[in-house]
Amino acid sequence: MELLAFGDTGWGDELFYATLMTIAVSITAIIIGFCFAAIFTPLKLSKKKIFNLIANSYTTIIRGVPELLVIYLFFFGGSGAVMFVASIFGYNEYIEINAFITGAFAIGIISGAYSTEVFRGAVQSIDKGQFEAAKVLGLSKFAQFFKIIFPQVLRLAIPNLSNVWQITLKDTSLISVTGLVEIMRQSYIAAGSTRDPLFFYSFAAVLYLLLTFLSMKLINKLEIRYSKGY
């Protein structure tokens, strides 16, 4: 137990901050994922073939390629891409992007592909009459979407989005390969310096279980809130 003490003698505080980092990366990533979903879901539902093609290739590629490979692409390619843009403006020094941003962005793109599929399914399962009724009421396009369609989409999407959240949360463990100090990386450091990997990795497993358990409780509450009246 003294291994988990707070302060200089144990790893308690380090692991606590690492857990906060995991939560922070996961939330940032899922928000980035929602942004991607907001762009690609309309493209997927659009009647134009070319838009469908773009959105479908995004979701197919991301869902068919391992997460780790995508993370390596961003880890090794990210600073190169930024440096290329910077070199256009005449800045030729080496630029290193923050591991947090790279990681959150990589996981966000992955999570976005899953969210896009969830939102597409939710929009498609809404009764056609709802769209027509919204139009007939003479609402503006903006109000049609945000007041009538979107709340229903949310209700249908929340159960599946909770799966996406779980996947995203677990995927953040892969960012440890880029050196961002989240639960996995911190356990790796602690295991290396104390020569007690079994304890620290098992503790990491417990932390992840705790996070998934607590987030499920929270999402269940949301689910109940959004299914009022059904």
Partner 1 sequence: MDFELMINSFPKLISAAVITLKLLSVSLIVGLFIGLLFAILRINKNSIVNKFAYGYSYLFRGTPLLVQIFIIYFGLGQIEYLRTTFLWVILKEPYWCAIIAFALNTGAYTSEILRSAFQTIKPGIIEAGKSLGISKKIIFYKIQIPIAIRQSLPAYGNEIILMMKGTSLASTVTLMDLTGVAKYIISTTFKPIEVFIVAGGIYLFMTFIIHNVIRLLEKKYKFN
Least Å distance, CB 107 to partner 1, is 12
Least Å distance, CB 216 to partner 1, is 9
Closest CA to 55 of 74, 36, 69: 36
Q: Which residues bind partner 1 (CB under 8 A)?
A: 60-61, 63-69, 72-73, 76-77, 80, 170-171, 173-174, 176-177, 184, 187-188, 191, 195-198, 201-202, 204-205, 208-209, 212-213
Distance CA 170, CA 164 (A): 10
Distance CA 160, CA 182 (A): 26
Closest CA to 66 of 177, 200, 208: 177
Q: Which is nearer to partner 1, 40 or 203 (CB)?
A: 203
Q: Which is nearer to partner 1, 26 or 144 (CB)?
A: 26
Residues 6 or more apart whose CB falls under 8 angstroms from that of 23 comprise 211
Least Å distance, CB 129 to partner 1, is 30
Angle at 75 between CA 72 and CA 77, to 5 degrees: 95
Distance CA 106, CA 56 (A): 18
Q: Which is nearer to partner 1, 151 or 192 (CB)?
A: 192
Q: Which is nearer to partner 1, 144 or 187 (CB)?
A: 187
Least Å distance, CB 43 to partner 1, is 20
Q: Which is nearer to partner 1, 61 or 85 (CB)?
A: 61
Least Å distance, CB 22 to partner 1, is 10
Least Å distance, CB 211 to partner 1, is 9
CA 198 to chain centre: 28
Residues 6 or more apart whose CB falls under 8 angstroms from that of 167 comprise 111, 114
Q: Which is nearer to partner 1, 78 or 144 (CB)?
A: 78
**Residue 223 half-sphere exposure toward CB, CA atoms < 13 A:** 14
Residue with tokens 């942004």: 35
